[in-house]
Structure 1
Amino acid sequence: MMRFYNREQELSELQRIRERSLQNAQMTVMVGRRRIGKTSLLKKDSEENLSVYLFVSRKSEILLCEEFVETIKDTLQVNSFGQITKIKDLFAWIMELSESRSFTLILDEFQEFLNINPSIFSDIQNIWDSKKGKSKINLIFCGSIYSMMNQIFENSKEPLFSRATSKINVGPFDVATLKEILTDNYPTFSGGDLLNFYTFTGGVAKYVESFVQNQSFALDDILKSIFRENSFFLEEGKNVLIEEFGKDYATYFSILSLIASSKTSRPEIESILEMGVGGYLDRLENDFSIIKKIKPIFAKSGSRQIKYEIADNFLSFWFRFIYKNRSAVEIGNFQYVEKLVRRDYSTFSGKMLERYFIEKLKLSMQFSEIGTFWDKKNQNEIDIVAINEIEKRVVFAEIKLNKAKINLLELKEKSNALDSFLLGYTKEYLALSLQDM
Structure 2
Amino acid sequence: MRFRGRSNDLKLLDRQLCVVRDGVATTPGQAVIVTGRRRVGKSRLVQEFCDRSDAPYVVFQASRGRNPAAERGDFTAALAQSSLPGADLVAGAVGADWNQALRALAIAVPEREPSIVVLDEVPWLVEQDSEFEGALQTVWDRYLSAKPVLLLLVGSDLSTMESLQEYGRPFHGRAARMLVRPLNPGDVQEMTSLESAEAIDAFLITGGFPEIVQRWKPGTDRQAFLCDQLSDPLSPLLMAGELSLLGEVPEPSHSRSALEAIGTGERTFSTIANRIGAGDPIPSGTLAPILNTLTAKRIVAVDTPLATRPDTKNKRYRIEDSYLRFWLAFLQRGIGEVERGRGDLVAARIERSWTSWRGRAVEPVIRAALTRLLPDDRLPDAEFVGGWWNRQNNPEIDLVGADREQPAATRIAFTGSIKWLENDLFGRRELESLIAGSMTIPGRDHITPLVAVSRSGVEEGLPLAATFGPDELIEAWRR
Is residue 195 of structure 2 the alignment partner of residue 173 of structure 1?
no
Match of 1:207 in 2: 212
The question of whether the paired residues in 2 share the 8 Å contact of 1:104 and 1:139 is answered with yes
Match of 2:276 in 1: 273
**2:291 is aligned with what amino acid?**
L
Deviations 1:395-419 (A, max 9, x none): 412323143475222222212223x
SS of aligned partner of 1:54: strand
The alpha carbon displacement at 1:130 in A equals 2.5
Q: Which runs of 5+ in 1 are unaligned?
A: none
SS of aligned partner of 1:293: strand
Q: Distance in 2 between matches of 1:423 and 1:377?
A: 22
Match of 2:151 in 1: 139
SS of aligned partner of 2:232: coil
Q: Distance in 2 between matches of 1:303 and 1:78?
A: 55
The alpha carbon displacement at 1:289 in A equals 0.8
The question of whether the paired residues in 2 share the 8 Å contact of 1:32 and 1:171 is answered with yes
SS of aligned partner of 1:417: coil
SS of aligned partner of 1:100: coil
Deviations 1:147-186 (A, max 9, x none): 33234x14556443x053211111123333333444xxx3
The alpha carbon displacement at 1:19 in A equals 3.5
Match of 2:424 in 1: 403
Q: Distance in 2 between matches of 1:67 and 1:217?
A: 47
Q: 2:440 aligns with which of 401, 411, 417?
A: 417
The alpha carbon displacement at 1:426 in A equals 3.8
The verdict on how the C-alpha distance between 1:357 and 1:4 changes in structure 2, with shifts beyond 3 A counting, is: same
**1:380 is aligned with what amino acid?**
P
The alpha carbon displacement at 1:30 in A equals 0.3
Match of 2:233 in 1: 229
Q: Distance in 1 between matches of 2:360 and 2:420?
A: 9
**2:229 is aligned with what amino acid?**
S
Q: How does 1:1-80 map to 2 (within 5 A)?
A: 1-2=1-2, 4-8=4-8, 10-21=9-20, 22=23, 23-46=27-50, 47-58=52-63, 60-61=70-71, 63-65=73-75, 67-72=77-82, 74-76=83-85, 78-80=87-89
The question of whether the paired residues in 1 share the 8 Å contact of 2:89 and 2:107 is answered with no
The question of whether the paired residues in 1 share the 8 Å contact of 2:294 and 2:300 is answered with yes
SS of aligned partner of 2:398: strand
The alpha carbon displacement at 1:272 in A equals 2.1
Match of 1:306 in 2: 315
The question of whether the paired residues in 2 share the 8 Å contact of 1:382 and 1:398 is answered with no
SS of aligned partner of 1:298: coil
Q: Distance in 2 between matches of 1:282 and 1:149?
A: 17
**1:56 is aligned with what amino acid?**
Q
The verdict on how the C-alpha distance between 1:136 and 1:3 changes in structure 2, with shifts beyond 3 A counting, is: closer
Q: Distance in 2 between matches of 1:35 and 1:131?
A: 33
Q: Distance in 2 between matches of 1:353 and 1:434?
A: 14
Q: Distance in 1 between matches of 2:19 and 2:398?
A: 45
The question of whether the paired residues in 2 share the 8 Å contact of 1:103 and 1:138 is answered with yes
The question of whether the paired residues in 2 share the 8 Å contact of 1:388 and 1:394 is answered with no
SS of aligned partner of 2:214: helix
Is residue 115 of structure 2 the alignment partner of residue 91 of structure 1?
no
SS of aligned partner of 1:210: coil
Q: Distance in 1 between matches of 2:49 and 2:155?
A: 17
Q: How does 1:106-145 map to 2 (within 5 A)?
A: 106-114=118-126, 116-132=128-144, 134-145=146-157
Report the TM-score, using the length of structure 2 for normalisation. 0.79
The verdict on how the C-alpha distance between 1:391 and 1:273 changes in structure 2, with shifts beyond 3 A counting, is: closer
Match of 2:401 in 1: 386
Q: Distance in 2 between matches of 1:133 and 1:68?
A: 21
The verdict on how the C-alpha distance between 1:6 and 1:434 changes in structure 2, with shifts beyond 3 A counting, is: farther
Deviations 1:263-293 (A, max 9, x none): 110101112223131111111112x011111
- Taking only the aligned residue pairs, the percentage that are identical comes to 18
The question of whether the paired residues in 1 share the 8 Å contact of 2:254 and 2:276 is answered with no
The question of whether the paired residues in 2 share the 8 Å contact of 1:216 and 1:222 is answered with no
The verdict on how the C-alpha distance between 1:323 and 1:196 changes in structure 2, with shifts beyond 3 A counting, is: same
The alpha carbon displacement at 1:325 in A equals 4.5
**2:14 is aligned with what amino acid?**
Q
The question of whether the paired residues in 1 share the 8 Å contact of 2:399 and 2:416 is answered with yes
Match of 2:460 in 1: none
Q: Distance in 1 between matches of 2:307 and 2:105?
A: 53
Deviations 1:14-65 (A, max 9, x none): 2332233344221210001123232333234331331423231425325513
SS of aligned partner of 2:449: strand
**1:76 is aligned with what amino acid?**
P
Q: Which runs of 5+ in 2 are unaligned?
A: 376-381, 405-409, 458-468, 471-479
Is residue 185 of structure 2 the alignment partner of residue 164 of structure 1?
no
Q: Count matched residues.
A: 424
Q: Distance in 1 between matches of 2:418 and 2:311?
A: 27
Q: Distance in 2 between matches of 1:227 and 1:311?
A: 27
The question of whether the paired residues in 2 share the 8 Å contact of 1:61 and 1:117 is answered with no
Q: Distance in 1 between matches of 2:447 and 2:105?
A: 60
Q: Distance in 1 between matches of 2:357 and 2:54?
A: 45
Q: Distance in 2 between matches of 1:169 and 1:382?
A: 30
Greater shift in the superposed pair: 316-325 or 298-307: 298-307
SS of aligned partner of 1:42: helix
Match of 2:245 in 1: 241
The alpha carbon displacement at 1:388 in A equals 5.9
Match of 1:432 in 2: 454
Deviations 1:51-106 (A, max 9, x none): 4232314253255135413333x443641256223354332022134462231111
The question of whether the paired residues in 1 share the 8 Å contact of 2:30 and 2:145 is answered with no
The verdict on how the C-alpha distance between 1:280 and 1:428 changes in structure 2, with shifts beyond 3 A counting, is: same
Match of 2:466 in 1: none
Q: How much is the aligned-residue C-alpha RMSD, in angstroms?
A: 3.0
The question of whether the paired residues in 2 share the 8 Å contact of 1:191 and 1:434 is answered with no
The question of whether the paired residues in 2 share the 8 Å contact of 1:265 and 1:308 is answered with yes
Q: Distance in 2 between matches of 1:173 and 1:370?
A: 21
SS of aligned partner of 1:421: coil
Is residue 372 of structure 2 the alignment partner of residue 347 of structure 1?
no
Greater shift in the superposed pair: 288-297 or 122-131: 122-131
Q: Distance in 2 between matches of 1:210 and 1:357?
A: 25
